[in-house]
Amino acid sequence: MALKQALMSLDYAHRHQNGERTGPMRHHVVRFGTFELDRTTGELWSKGQRVPLQDQPAQLLSLLVSRPGTVVTREQLRKALWSEDTFVEFDTALNVAVNKIRQALRDSASTPRFIETVPKRGYRFLADVHPAGPGAAEPGVAAQEPPPAPIWPPRDRRFWMAIGAAAAAVVALGTWRHS
């Protein structure tokens, strides 16, 4: 419950700061990349398969996807994820949670696609986040992707030019050997 209140508070502050007058983010299932996150249950899915993610990393991911493109400070994360009476080595616990998220998302700290570390400040969620709207697949069901383009026949003009040049070389070689 505390996380939900913290998310709503952060989301409201972010929207108010940016001049938006809409209410808090109401979308419980969001999509980014090939992933879907149910923000109420903390379940993470990719291509129809559930991706294991512990509770605290799931709460942290939910917090980050609620503010894509915005730095969420370490202090905001501490307040949202750990109560005042909890005694924990915060930096270590936060780093472990971020690493577990990166592992689940197959992300990298050196070349991030999803979570960027902003040194001495916090973290930024990089990917576009879209609500799973009506008509979209249910959580855990991969969205239909268009089939890949056929590899053959190639339509690249350079390919056909290379084939023509090779054929001309074979004909020239055959003519030269028989003369």
Please state the three-class secondary structure of 98-121 as a single string. HHHHHHHHCCCCCCCCCEEEECCC
Per the domain annotation, does 169 fall within a domain?
Answer: no
64 is a domain residue:
yes
Q: CB-based burial of residue 7 (10 Å sphere; 0-12 exposed, 13-18 middle, 19+ buried)? A: buried
> Is residue 144, in this structure, part of any structural domain at all?
no
Q: Is the pLDDT of residue 53 over 70?
A: yes
Residue tagged 């992707």 (tokens)? 145
pLDDT at 12 over 70: no
Q: How many domains does the chain have?
A: 1
What is the pLDDT averaged over residues 26-53?
Answer: 87
Name, of 13-22, 68-77, 160-169, the range with top average pLDDT: 68-77
Q: Does any domain span residue 118?
A: yes
Maximum CA extent, the chain: 96
Q: Is residue 83 part of a domain?
A: yes
In-domain check, residue 37? yes
Strands, sheet with 122-125, edge to edge from the N-terminal-most edge strand: 71-73, 122-125, 115-118
Beta bridge partners of 73: 122
Q: How confident is the model at residue 103 (pLDDT cuts 50, 70, 90)?
A: very high
Calpha distance 15→179 (Å, rounded): 82
Domain that holds residue 91: 2-131
Report if residue 175 sits inside a domain. Answer: no
What's the whole-model pTM score? 0.60
Return the CATH number at 47.
1.10.10.10
**pLDDT digits 0-9 by tens, 132-174:** 755 454 444 444 444 555 555 555 566 667 777 888 888 887 7
- Examine the pLDDT at 71 and tell me if it is beyond 70: yes
* CA–CA distances in Å: residue 74 to residues 25, 34, 103, 129, 131: 21, 27, 20, 21, 26
* Residue 172 located in a structural domain: no
